[in-house]
Amino acid sequence: MEPAVLIFLSSGLFLGWALGANDAANVFGTAVGTRMVRWSTAALICSLFVVLGAAVSGAGASTTLGKLGAISTLAGAFMTALAAAISVYLMTKSGLSVSTSQAIVGAIIGWNMFAQAPTDTRILTTIVGTWVLCPLLSAVIAVILYKALRLYLRHAELHLVRTDAYLRLGLLVAGAFGAYALGANNIANVVGVFIPAKPFPDLTIGQFTLSSAQQLLLLGGLAIAVGVLTYSKGVMMTVGGELGRISPVAAFVAVIAHSIVLFMFASRGLEAWLIKAGLPTIPLVPVSSSQAVVGAVVGIAILQGISGIRWRVLGNIMLGWIATPILAGLICFFGLFFLQNVFGQRVF
């Protein structure tokens, strides 16, 4: 592999690392923060399943991003991922809700504008639609699951201690599913823009041949896993503390609802099944893991009485839908200008 390829990929890998460090908390934050699951166990399961999800089911959402903007050069992809990473950093610094999915889409549009490539408005509308749909769907799923689980627990008459043991196990399983779904859905944000540039030759190991896209998905998954293992502990503790007032049952439901939503927007298998059943399909689009969790928690809060809702968080989410892509788009546009005119790189 050429060292230049790695340099160009570094922005995507950095984005992957940041995603692992931050979004693992959406999957295991409450479990670890409330000490239902040890951080080491959570980090191990999370990193393993993130890589699996990225490598096995990551192609679907990545393809959609590729359709939004076919970034054909490595330098262009580098700046797109870097612009997304910088905007995620800046938005986080300002305490605003941020999603890597929204940042990368804004950055791709920035590239489209710089390269004077047309943006497919149909794909863009689908993507923006899913941003609104994602927390709403998560809330609806959480409400249904929460009601069903409460009904079950009421009738099962399990001992408090036994319920706790089952919940611990449930949080681990839900976390593993959540990590898989996170890897499958959000890997597109990390390496999606590099896929059209095909930076790697095919790699043959024994009987298996890994294409450039597959190698990218695996590498991106590993970057997320490194983020989980090196930097997620503090974030998990913080998220766990912030959401500490919700019960373990609600936490379990929130993680499951989040995971189902992320999986729905990433699974090609589900898409094929829906087509076969003659049902409308769900677009394969990278969505925000944080917003899926917040949507689920808000759904449960509404079920328990409207007073539990944190309106400021909701306001931040909506502001994020607009501010994040605009910021990322602007950074990408000006970044590409510098990369092309100062460093003499071919960016499209």
Partner 1 sequence: MNRMSKLRLFSRTKDLESQIDEFLDKLSEASVMFRLGVRTYLKEGANGEFDVKLKAVNTLESNADGLRRNIEKELYTHTLIPDARGDVLGLIETLDHLLSLFEGTLWALAIEKPEIAKEFESGFRKLTNMVVQASDALVLGARSFFRTPHMVGDYNHKVMIYEKEADKISTQLKLDIFGSELDLAHKAQLRNFVEQIDNVADWAEDVADRLAIYAIKRTV
Catalog residues that contact partner 1 under the rule CB under 8 A: 34-36, 41, 154, 157-162, 164-165, 168-169, 172, 247-248, 304
Distance in Å, CB of 318 to partner 1, minimum:
28
Please give the Cα distance from 294 to 289 (Å, whole number).
9
Strand partners of residue 209: 204
Which residue number, 162 or 346, has a Cβ lying nearer to partner 1?
Answer: 162
Strand partners of residue 116: none
Site of tokens 């089911």: 57
Which residue number, 90 or 237, has a Cβ lying nearer to partner 1?
Answer: 237
Distance in Å, CB of 37 to partner 1, minimum:
9
Query: Sign of torsion, CA 261 265 266 270?
Result: positive
Q: How many CA atoms lie within 13 A of 91 on its CB side?
A: 27
Distance in Å, CB of 150 to partner 1, minimum:
9
Which residue number, 236 or 261, has a Cβ lying nearer to partner 1?
Answer: 236
DSSP strand E in the chain: where?
203-205, 208-210
Distance in Å, CB of 21 to partner 1, minimum:
24
Distance in Å, CB of 228 to partner 1, minimum:
17
Which residue number, 77 or 246, has a Cβ lying nearer to partner 1?
Answer: 246
DSSP character at residue 314: H
Distance in Å, CB of 159 to partner 1, minimum:
5
Site of tokens 């319920």: 163
C-beta atoms surrounding 169 within 10 Å? 11
- Cα–chain center distance at 36: 24
**Residues counted in the chain:** 348
Which residue number, 34 or 119, has a Cβ lying nearer to partner 1?
Answer: 34
Which residue number, 174 or 217, has a Cβ lying nearer to partner 1?
Answer: 174
